[in-house]
Amino acid sequence: MAFSSGGGSDDTPMSDINTTPLVDVMLVMLIIFLIAVPVIVQNIKLKLPDVKYDPTTTKPENVSLSIVEDDKGACAVYWGMTRMGHQELFDRASKKMKADIERLQAAGPIDPEQIPEVHIRGDVNVPYKCVGGAIYTMQSAGFIKVGFISQPPPKSQSAS
């Protein structure tokens, strides 16, 4: 605490606040924010990968789903050629996974490569929520491996 050294005889403490440390801290924070903000606000430019054709080895126990958008804008999920609703898809997938696990357990220890997979064929114009919903439903039913089936580009585009 500082005492005034004026000509008076009273020794009352000064009530002024020393603002120099406050200004120093504020300047340091300003410099930190000036450096950090451009890093946070950067846009990340992405180029999504080109579709490469990798032949898939399909097993009879794998599930093939086709996802399209119907005329009304709703998601249409087909298991083979049968259209499924969300609950119907979950129920059928759960039953299939349970039956496959019981069949594999009867043959001995389960190899992760033996567990059936889900192969999804999604229309190019289908909203992501349709594909994401199907993935979530199948994973909730117990399917671990989910793959996407795509069409390779024409030969003239793949050569470049």
pLDDT digits (tens, 9 = 90+) for 131-158: 999 999 999 999 988 888 876 666 665 4
Q: Structure tokens of 13? A: 């403490």
pTM: 0.60
pLDDT: is 47 or 59 the higher one? 59
DSSP string, 86-152: HHHHHHHHHHHHHHHHHHHHHTSSPPGGGS--EEEEE-TTS-HHHHHHHHHHHHHTT---EEE--PP
Amino acid 5: pLDDT: 59
pLDDT digits (tens, 9 = 90+) for 12-46: 777 778 888 889 999 999 998 888 777 666 555 65
Q: Is residue 76 part of a domain?
A: yes
Amino acid 96: pLDDT: 93
Q: Is residue 98 part of a domain?
A: yes
- In which domain, by residue range, is 136 found? 63-148
Amino acid 160: pLDDT: 46
Q: Is residue 32 part of a domain?
A: no
CB 149 within 8 A of CB 56: yes
Q: Is residue 158 part of a domain?
A: no
pLDDT digits (tens, 9 = 90+) for 69-93: 888 888 899 998 889 999 999 999 9
Write b or e for each residue in 27-66: b if 16 or more Cβ atoms lie within 10 A of its Cβ, otherwise e. eeeeeeeeeeeeeeeeeeeeeeeeeeeeeeeeeeebbebb
What's the half-sphere exposure (Cβ side, CA atoms, 13 Å) at 5? 1
- Structural domain tally of the chain? 1
| Residue 39, helix vs strand vs coil | helix
Q: Is residue 42 part of a domain?
A: no
* 72: CATH: 3.30.420.270
Q: Is residue 92 part of a domain?
A: yes
